[in-house]
Amino acid sequence: MIGIKDGKVTEGGAGVSLCDEDPDHLYRMRHPWSICEVAPDKLEAGFQRLRETLSESGWKVVAYGRDTSANKNLELTADSEKEPFSVNASLRITGASGTQQPMLQIRVVSGCFRAPKGTDLGKEY
């Protein structure tokens, strides 16, 4: 959806966390990643493509605008209309000191799921 072919995508992977509603039985998945080493104008274009394509692909944009940081980063949050997932994207063109490299940060988070009976959610995944 973002359509950026060059740049660097951060390493990492999905993680699991407990849900506050019932931490003994419920968990959620999250997957943060980012794109960097791309010109700011390409990141901006990718961010706008994401915004447009999400709406066309079964996602509802529920928040869009500048965050409250000193940099006033552009952010969007969208919820899937079919599955219990949300995505948050943040376009970070300059850091607080002006020395951080531009990047597009993405975080996908699931709703809460019930773990199979007997699953120990206290283990690290």
Report pLDDT digits (tens) over 65-122.
999 988 889 999 999 999 999 999 999 987 655 557 899 999 999 999 998 888 777 7
Q: What is the mean pLDDT of the chain?
A: 89
How far is it, in rounded angstroms, from Cα 87 to Cα 63? 11
- Top pLDDT among 125 and 45 is at 45
pLDDT value of position 98: 54
How far is it, in rounded angstroms, from Cα 109 to Cα 86? 5
How far is it, in rounded angstroms, from Cα 36 to Cα 82? 30
